[in-house]
Chain A
Amino acid sequence: MKSEHCIRCTICVENCPVFRVNPDYPGPKQAGPDAQRFRSSREKSVDEWVLLCSQCKRCEMACPSGVNPAEMILRAQQKYSLEHPRKAAHLLFANNYYISRLGSLTAPLANSFAATKIGKRIFQRMGISTKIPFPKFSFKTLREQKRAHGGKNRKVALFCGCFINFYRPDIGKKIIQILQSFRMDVVLPPQVCCGLPALGNGNLALAKSFAAKNVSSLSNYIDAGYDIVYSCTSCGLCLLHDYSGVMGIPGAKKLAENCYDLHEYLLKMITEQEMKPEFKEVKQSLAYHIPCHLRALKIGYPAASLMKLIPGLTTRILDDACCGLSGSYGFKKTNETTAQQLGERAVSLIRQTNAEAIVADCGSCRMQLGGLSGMETLDPVEILWKSLQIQNRK
């Protein structure tokens, strides 16, 4: 933690989406390095406003002095949450994984209940915003649908993430089909939630237990010669950054060294001539909303590099605006206005491009931007799948 490296230049403050719209939040400079000097492990936390940080990490991306305000705030959030009673919304979202498992088992019922008036009222009473529709549970999760697949070339263990597993298994299927079409062996190893929702809702212990399970399961696959590939950028950031950082999970370094973003991996395979894709024309103009956590991964924008290879496709990169939802952050009543204002600004920048659809790697960004704009939202995987003209095999 390098709070003393801060020169108070305020570049982080300029980049903080929450600070721009919520006067109650003092911004990353004050909440991070400034307040850090007054925080003591022996004293109880009093700064409830640390919970207003959405952990988008934009402050860390912008800091020219190598200071990590988001991490200081994350640690302060964990300490605060440990010392104060948790709210219903925090408990619910921290346990998102278990709730999603339940939701998928009872998908038709759970989905229609969430959409009813009484359902919405219950959510509101729990401090949960119902401004944008909840994602719909899928009755069959990806993990139920797919088992191991035989291939010849590289071996891939896919960390699909809760969003794809419970809500959009169709995207997961497309990922598997793309990898298989290049004769790769794809498996879905035993896995649980990455732990980020638990971390974001102040439950470090739960996050750590998720992380430990994942590390032990994925390590076995690494030992067996598999590359770990994730497609959710927030899961990825958690696996790579938080497992070894805030959570301090043994074995996290090995996982990080063998773990790739899906598009980063595809680019790597093309470079290593493991695959020679023939991209067919896709006539579409897209606004590519860059998820904050993709920026934070330090890998550039690999899906943008891939989409550049598709004839007929025009993509405008937009990376200045956070969508505001930040996973469960924007679903909390206290953050509802913040999330909405930020989302509206992101949407207005998208509209200026006159794009036909929005593309984003992150399911939660798509939920927010699609919900606020009414525009079609796509995962880059869907574009690649279309361009590669992969048949939907059963």
Chain B
Amino acid sequence: MSVIEYDVIVIGAGVAGLTAGAFLAGKGLKVALVTSGEPTACLSTGCIDVCAQAKNPLQGIENLPDEHPYHFVPPPMIHQALSDFQQIMTNRMLPYTGLLQENSLVLSAIGAFKTTCLLPVTMQASPKSDDEKIHIVTFAGLKDFYPGYIISRLKKSSFSTYDAGVSTTMGIAANFEKESFLEAFLLWMEKLGIREDKIAVPAVLGLESAPVILQKIENRLERPVFEIPTIPPSMPGRRLFNALKDHFRHQGGDIYWNWPVSGVEKTGRLIEAVITESPGAPNSINARAFLLASGSFVGGGLLALRRTIVEKIFDLPVFVPGQRETWFNQDYFSADHGIGRAGIAVDSSFRPADCRWDNIFVCGAILAHTEALKNGCGHGFAMATGQAAALSCLEYLQ
């Protein structure tokens, strides 16, 4: 057998693709992951939304419409996918907390509360109501975070500004990885004489060691400290991506960066290889099965044209929610836009419905009827469908 022939090629480096890829690589299969760039997961808050519109995510899933792809994942498998995730993140020193039976609240950068299921341990102490007294520490010149938004809602809070020498999220986060910087920051914090019950910082506490850095601040100031997720560049999103990527690699998977699929090779009912354009000799990779996790519109898996919607890799049939006029709601901020239902409809084995190919499996945000915004189906949905599609793919290959 050739050295570069893979069992499975995963398309997309988001949470769904990385979860599915790591699961299959962990079962001893040769897995390659191709991606055209970094995923939208990097832009996320790093929180794991399972079904954020309900108080109890599991109950919420049960109440979703019949055609929702969550119903193809048996509830024990949802449990399994999320507890596997928690284990992975604990091993990667970025533990997550939370319960599948009850959503938690996380304070956002505009002072509103976001509902989520699992959250990074650095957000564990996030307040649950407007009444809590928090002291916000922000950084001079950091233009992606305004404590004023939060103080206008949490009236009992106050803020201080630290000059970190640099004013960007990445720059400050990189500084926090240095002992000397943290020490100087702690000395400054001690002199503030903070009276509030909790301390909040925008999510810039380190590139990868955030839980350790947070713990050090808590120990010195003797009160809970938590991170507030910011707009991109979002460190918690990047930490999540990096950890899942490292885990995938640790399981033996290969990643091909900047590898937008521009064509496929097929024979009969099978896809045989994916091809990318390159200035050099044609690049193609073979595999026995393909897992599509290319995301929805923002992720780049779907493309809306004037009259229709296309799937960009395999040109799979796309479920289109009626006429274009019905795709959108007048209210921009409404989560209930028809377009949220667009995507690839699948059967219970996560194979595309009415598909000419036998060896394609689909997971994550590209699935039809997901309505990610309306139902709050985020990374948790990606993990659950990722694992379910991977299992189905594994059964097919055996």
Residues of A participating in the B interface, judged by any CB pair closer than 8 Å: 7, 9-11, 13-15, 19-21, 23, 27, 60-66, 240-241, 244-245, 253, 256-260, 267, 270-271, 295-296, 298-301, 304-306, 309, 317, 319-320, 345
- Please tell me if B188 contacts chain A, counting CB pairs below 8 Å: no
> A11-B232, A62-B37, A66-B260 are known contacts. Are A256 and B279 too (CB-CB below 8 A)?
yes
Closest 3 CB pairs of A and B: A64-B37, A271-B2, A61-B258
A7 and B37 CA atoms in complex are apart in Å by 13
A28 and B260 CA atoms in complex are apart in Å by 21
Residues of B participating in the A interface, judged by any CB pair closer than 8 Å: 2-5, 32, 36-40, 42-43, 166-168, 170-171, 174, 177, 232-233, 238, 242, 249, 254-260, 276, 278-281, 283, 298-300
B42, B177, B249, B258: the one contacting A296 at CB < 8 Å is: B258
Query: Contact: B242 with A320, CB < 8 Å?
Result: yes
Q: Give chain A nearest CB distance to B37 CB in angstroms.
A: 4
Query: Contact: A345 with B174, CB < 8 Å?
Result: yes
A14, A20, A65, A305: the one contacting B3 at CB < 8 Å is: A305
Chain A residue with the shortest CB-CB distance to B237:
A14
- How many A-B pairs fall under 8 Å by CB? 111
Q: Give chain A nearest CB distance to B38 CB in angstroms.
A: 5
Query: Contact: A14 with B170, CB < 8 Å?
Result: yes
A21 and B174 CA atoms in complex are apart in Å by 8
A320 and B245 CA atoms in complex are apart in Å by 11
Neighbouring A residues of B300 by C-beta, 8 Å: 64-65
Query: Contact: A295 with B37, CB < 8 Å?
Result: no
A129 and B313 CA atoms in complex are apart in Å by 48
Query: Contact: A257 with B38, CB < 8 Å?
Result: no
Query: Contact: B168 with A19, CB < 8 Å?
Result: yes
> A14-B170, A298-B276 are known contacts. Are A64 and B233 too (CB-CB below 8 A)?
no
A66 and B300 CA atoms in complex are apart in Å by 10
Most buried by B among A61, A267, A298: A298
Query: Contact: A13 with B43, CB < 8 Å?
Result: no
Neighbouring A residues of B36 by C-beta, 8 Å: 64, 66
Query: Contact: A14 with B283, CB < 8 Å?
Result: no
Query: Contact: B37 with A11, CB < 8 Å?
Result: yes
Chain B residue with the shortest CB-CB distance to A27:
B168
Query: Contact: B256 with A300, CB < 8 Å?
Result: yes
A9, A245, A295, A296: the one contacting B43 at CB < 8 Å is: A9
> A65-B300, A271-B3 are known contacts. Are A11 and B281 too (CB-CB below 8 A)?
no
Chain B residue with the shortest CB-CB distance to A304:
B254
A-B contact pairs, 28 of them (CB 8 A): A7-B298, A9-B232, A10-B232, A11-B42, A11-B43, A11-B232, A13-B170, A15-B38, A21-B174, A23-B166, A27-B168, A61-B258, A64-B38, A64-B299, A64-B300, A65-B300, A240-B279, A241-B279, A256-B280, A259-B280, A271-B4, A295-B258, A298-B258, A298-B278, A300-B32, A300-B255, A301-B254, A320-B242
A260 and B283 CA atoms in complex are apart in Å by 11
A23 and B280 CA atoms in complex are apart in Å by 36
Most buried by A among B32, B168, B171, B299: B168
> A298-B283, A305-B3 are known contacts. Are A23 and B254 too (CB-CB below 8 A)?
no
New A-B contacts (5) at CB < 8 Å, excluding given A62-B38, A270-B2? A9-B232, A20-B168, A21-B174, A271-B3, A301-B254
Query: Contact: B167 with A23, CB < 8 Å?
Result: yes
Query: Contact: B37 with A257, CB < 8 Å?
Result: no
Neighbouring B residues of A63 by C-beta, 8 Å: 37-38
Neighbouring B residues of A241 by C-beta, 8 Å: 279
A27 and B143 CA atoms in complex are apart in Å by 15
> A241-B279, A256-B279 are known contacts. Are A298 and B256 too (CB-CB below 8 A)?
yes
Query: Contact: A240 with B3, CB < 8 Å?
Result: no
Q: Give chain A nearest CB distance to B34 CB in angstroms.
A: 9
Query: Contact: B233 with A10, CB < 8 Å?
Result: yes
A260 and B298 CA atoms in complex are apart in Å by 34
Query: Contact: A305 with B281, CB < 8 Å?
Result: no
Neighbouring B residues of A345 by C-beta, 8 Å: 174, 177
Neighbouring A residues of B259 by C-beta, 8 Å: 298
Query: Contact: B280 with A305, CB < 8 Å?
Result: no
Neighbouring A residues of B174 by C-beta, 8 Å: 20-21, 345
